């Protein structure tokens, strides 16, 4: 069991030994599980191609799918990517936080080509978890980290999830408790002039539009043959059980994932019913989404029926994840 618990709130002195252990694993090309505010990450030194290769094999992730580079400061971000005025404006408004910016990659960036899948762009973010920022700073290079789940599966929102998904591939999992946001970062591309949202996520479109003083171009182009973010394949975030969206009732054998009032919802055969947010709060629902999907899935229901969730605010990202979880699978 590689899980080790961090002191909360973050105290680098109290946790000195644990953090030095984590740092020396990264320096010697190993993998660790890291906390972020969105989901847990599977991290390696982004400058070490052998270490980054281990991420792809541990996750069974296709190598055409680039990784996000995590840094501790805007200065470090500007060292690996070219930030125009809009990129700086968004970074200053939302970092540290659940936003990833795709910008042109600097040739001098201390990031191996495997991490960016050979692209001339790079995805960068500053995560809110202080222990992870501390590690980036001490390493002196970005941490390449995808979500800590096997490719196509539900993302990890606790250290225990990381252990279940990838425990045998990591030397250490830093446990900072459940992730507060619960959905991956929103990804905005700034490479084509106008900002474009490539992936809805833990920062809602409306907050970004407020800072941009205008609408955010392009909804996620949903062409699975040619995904805008190479990792946005149709089937993703998938539990073992099939998913039925827009459910208005519970059928025999079905577990239920609900939202808001579930008056009248009764499972005919006593399957589990979980409510993402009885009061209809989308922030609470986002934080609960992946954990509840995992929990319902562990009961091996015939199907997980999901009641309708509004498309506003974080609902855009929640529904995106649920549609992908419900999509036909190639495995």
In the chain, DSSP assigns E strands to 3-5, 32-34, 41-45, 68-70, 99-104, 121-125, 143-144, 172-175, 186-189, 196-199, 243-244, 254-258, 273-275, 303-306
| Binder of residue 257, out of ligand TXA, Mg ion, none (CB less than 5 to 8 A by kind) | none
Closest to 279 in 3D by CA, of 265, 260, 257 = 260
Decide if residue 197 touches Mg ion (CB under 5 A). Answer: no
Q: At what angle do helices 16-27 and 130-139 cross, to 10 degrees?
A: 50
Angle CA(171)–CA(134)–CA(23) in degrees, nearest 5? Answer: 30
- The percent helix, strand, coil of the chain (3-state, each to 5) is 30, 20, 55
When CB distances are held under 5 to 8 angstroms depending on the partner's kind, the choice from ligand TXA, Mg ion, none that residue 301 binds is: none
For every residue of 296-316, which 3-state class applies, written as one string?
HHHCCCCEEEECCCCCCCCHH
Using CB under 6 A, which residues numbered 279 to 318 contact ligand TXA? none
For residue 121, state whether it binds ligand TXA (rule: CB under 6 A).
yes
Shortest Å distance, C-beta 59 to Mg ion: 8
Q: State in angstroms the smallest separation of the CB of 213 from ligand TXA.
A: 24
Is the distance from CB of 253 to CB of 282 less than 8 angstroms?
no
Q: How far apart are CB 209 and ligand TXA at their closest, in Å?
A: 20
Instruction: For Mg ion, give the closer residue by CB, 100 or 147.
Output: 147
Q: Does 89 bind ligand TXA (CB under 6 A)?
A: no
On the question of a cis peptide bond just before residue 9, with omega within 30 degrees of 0, the verdict is yes
Residue 296 binds which entry of ligand TXA, Mg ion, none, CB below 5-8 Å type-dependent = none
User: Shortest Cβ distance from residue 36 to ligand TXA (Å)?
Assistant: 5
Q: Applying CB under 6 A, which of residues 25, 31, 102, 129 lies at the interface with ligand TXA?
A: 102
Report the residue number whose CB is nearest to ligand TXA: 231
Strands in 243-244's sheet, in edge-to-edge order, are 243-244, 303-306, 254-258, 273-275
Interface map 187-226 toward ligand TXA (x if CB under 6 A): x----------x----------------------------
156 binds ligand TXA (CB under 6 A): no
Contacts (CB under 6 A) with ligand TXA, residues 17-76: 36, 38-39, 41, 65-68
Q: Which of 36, 132, 147, 157 binds Mg ion (CB under 5 A)?
A: 147
CA–CA separation, 75 and 62 (whole Å): 31
Residue 235: name its binding partner from ligand TXA, Mg ion, none (Cβ under 5 to 8 Å by kind): none
CA–CA separation, 90 and 56 (whole Å): 30
Among 185, 197, 267, 307, binds ligand TXA (CB under 6 A): 185
Q: Within 228-267, which residues bind Mg ion (CB under 5 A)?
A: none
> Is 229 among the residues that bind ligand TXA (CB under 6 A)?
yes
Closest CA to 184 of 93, 290, 96: 290
Question: Cα(269)–Cα(263) distance, rounded to whole angstroms?
Answer: 17
Residues contributing to the site for ligand TXA (CB under 6 A): 36, 38-39, 41, 65-68, 100, 102, 116, 119, 121-123, 127, 145-147, 184-185, 187, 198, 229-232
């Amino acid at each position: 069991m590689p899980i080790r618990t961090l002191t909360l709130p973050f105290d680098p002195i109290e946790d000195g030994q644990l953090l030095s252990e984590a740092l020396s694993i990264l320096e010697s090309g190993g993998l660790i599980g890291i906390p972020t505010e969105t989901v847990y990450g599977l991290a390696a030194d982004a400058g070490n191609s052998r270490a980054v290769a281990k991420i792809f094999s541990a996750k069974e992730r296709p190598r055409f799918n680039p990784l996000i580079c995590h840094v501790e400061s805007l200065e470090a971000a500007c060292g690996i990517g070219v930030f125009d005025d809009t990129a700086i404006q968004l970074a200053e408004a939302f970092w540290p936080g659940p936003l990833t910016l795709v910008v042109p990659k600097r040739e001098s960036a201390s990031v191996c080509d495997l991490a960016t899948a050979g692209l001339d762009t790079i995805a960068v973010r500053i995560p809110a978890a202080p222990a992870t920022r501390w590690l980036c700073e001490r390493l002196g290079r970005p941490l390449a980290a995808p979500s800590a789940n096997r490719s196509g599966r539900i993302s990890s929102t606790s250290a225990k999830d990381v252990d279940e998904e990838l425990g045998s591939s990591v030397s250490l999992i830093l446990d900072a408790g459940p992730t507060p946001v619960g959905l991956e970062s929103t990804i905005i591309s700034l490479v084509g002039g106008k900002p474009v949202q490539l992936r809805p996520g833990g920062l809602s479109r409306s907050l970004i539009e407020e800072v941009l003083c205008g609408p955010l171009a392009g909804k996620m182009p949903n062409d699975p043959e040619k995904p805008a973010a190479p990792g946005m394949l149709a089937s993703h975030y998938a539990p073992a059980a099939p998913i039925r969206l827009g459910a208005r009732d519970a059928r025999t054998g079905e577990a239920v994932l609900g939202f808001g009032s579930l008056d009248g919802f009764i499972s005919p055969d006593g399957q589990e019913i979980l409510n993402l947010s009885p009061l209809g709060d989308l922030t609470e629902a986002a934080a609960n989404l992946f954990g509840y999907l995992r929990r319902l899935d562990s009961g091996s229901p015939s199907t997980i029926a999901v009641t309708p969730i509004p498309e506003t605010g974080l609902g855009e990202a929640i529904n995106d994840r649920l549609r992908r979880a419900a999509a036909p699978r190639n495995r």
